[in-house]
Amino acid sequence: MNPGRFGIFSGIAAPVIWLSLIGLAGAMRPEFSHSYQYISELGERGSITEIPMRYIGFGFAGLLYVCFALAVPATLREGWRSALLAMLIGLDGIGRIGAGVFACDPGCDGLSSSQELHRLFAMTGFSAAILATLVCGVVFRRHAWLGILSAYSIGSGLLATTLLLLMTWEANPIQTPGLFEHWATGVLSIWTLVLALRLRRTPVATDE
């Protein structure tokens, strides 16, 4: 298979694997609440879902995000614009891999170095993914093939940002931080899937 096409298929598979692992790991732990608990708790140390969530959900899916990022410049051939989008998608993947390497403590409320590094990598991944949506929406708004996704990309980034702010807002009357995080990662995952499917149909372009 052409390396560029492999990368695009990686971009299709990555969000599907990620969302599937969240559902599967949650089903393996009947006591887990998607509304009140964070996704990272599915990979917490000592849990029965630690191994699949850390190494498949975070690690393998993160690697697929990096493969997808490498395929973006070769597919779009739009110079610095493609490179910027690819860098952010790749950073999202690296954030996921790091979050898998460094598991959070039980309950994800500890003070260990692994917990702090997990939080740092997870925050890096989320931030990069949001920036990727905004870059795609703004920088490629006049692009022949990606322009159609402009409003959707910007909307996805703003919605994910709002959900993450609600997740961290201590005075939020709706005390369901896990639900907001699940929605945010769902919005960003679906955006990645839509982008990859769109790039799968993109013809080879020339630099402007």
The pair of structure tokens assigned to 86 is: 């690819």
User: What is the full DSSP assignment across 8-60?
Assistant: HHHHHHHHHHHHHHHHHHHHH-TT--TTTS-GGGGG-TTSTTHHHIIIIIIII
What domain count does the chain have? 1
Q: Is 196 contained in some domain?
A: yes
Q: Is 56 contained in some domain?
A: yes
Cα 177 to the center of its chain, rounded Å: 18
d(CA 42, CA 73): 34
The better pLDDT of the pair 207, 54 is held by 54
Q: Is 208 contained in some domain?
A: no
Give the pLDDT of residue 207: 38
Number of H helices, E strands in the chain: 7, 0
- pLDDT exceeds 50 at position 206: no
Q: Is 205 contained in some domain?
A: no
The pLDDT mean for the chain works out to 91
The pair of structure tokens assigned to 51 is: 């191994």
Q: Is 79 contained in some domain?
A: yes
Q: Is 16 contained in some domain?
A: yes
Report pLDDT digits (tens) over 39-93.
Answer: 999 999 989 999 999 999 999 999 999 999 999 998 888 889 999 999 999 999 9
Compute φ and ψ for 202, nearest 5 degrees.
-75, 125
Q: Is 207 contained in some domain?
A: no
d(CA 198, CA 75): 11
| Residue 169 identity | W
Length of the chain: 208
pLDDT band at 100 (very low <50, low <70, confident <90, very high): very high
Give the pLDDT of residue 203: 59
Section 94-123 average pLDDT? 92
Q: Is 33 contained in some domain?
A: yes
d(CA 72, CA 84): 10
Section 105-113 average pLDDT? 85
- 61-70, 124-133, 142-151: segment of lowest average pLDDT: 142-151
CA-based max dimension of the chain: 54
Alpha-carbon torsion angle 135, 136, 139, 141, nearest 10: -140
Angstrom distances, CA of residue 183 to CA of 17, 28, 79: 16, 20, 33
Domain that holds residue 39: 3-200
